[in-house]
Homo-oligomer: A and B are copies of this chain.
Amino acid sequence: MDAKTLCLGALTLGDASGYEIRKQFEEGPFAFFHDVSFASIYPALAKLNDDGLVIGRELAQDGRPAKKVYSITETGREAFRTALDKPPASDKFRSEAIYMMFFADLLPDRRRREVYESYLALHKEYVAGMEAELDSDAPGDGKDIWRAASGHRFVHGAGLAIYRALVDYMETHRHLVLGQEEDR
């Protein structure tokens, strides 16, 4: 999915600047399913603006640099709906760490264990973070981002389910990669 469509989608949830859109992809519910960098967001927004799919306006702030807040137009909404109408591309789970495990026998013992355990620890943190988010339920601020509340919960839950499964699997299958020592 290209940066333009991603920005359009973010803007259906409410007005935002490029910087804010980026944050949504870094911290928000999409975080585990997509990412975009500034260098793809800014040109994308400029292009969308030229094409009339969004309109941006400068917004001065005190104590901070001015920002350009974009709103989606009706044409933009229509374009986004059209984009959603295409059959979705198939999933891709890219994991260099898991790829490395395939070649575990090429790594020295210490490093293999180190990669495995740090990868597992990282994912445990992810899971803990997502669980905490789930508990703290309603986010409090009245932002429009939560319009699609149940879609949000679905996506969040899916991410959690997947990472939880991965953590569980890794905790019970250490022996396949690390050798004789018992799991757990």
Contact = CB atoms under 8 A, between A and B. Distances in A.
Interface residues on A, range: 35 or more
A6 to B, nearest CB: 8
A85 B5 CA distance: 36
Contacts of A161: 165-166, 168-169
Interface stretch (A62-70, A94-102, A128-136): A94-102
Interface string A30-65: 101111000000000000000000000000000000
16 contacts: A35-B92, A80-B103, A80-B106, A84-B107, A88-B97, A91-B96, A92-B94, A92-B95, A93-B162, A94-B94, A101-B151, A102-B155, A104-B148, A157-B176, A162-B169, A164-B165
Given A1-B94, A34-B99, A81-B106, 12 more contacts: A88-B96, A88-B97, A88-B99, A91-B94, A92-B92, A94-B94, A101-B154, A102-B148, A103-B148, A104-B148, A161-B165, A162-B165
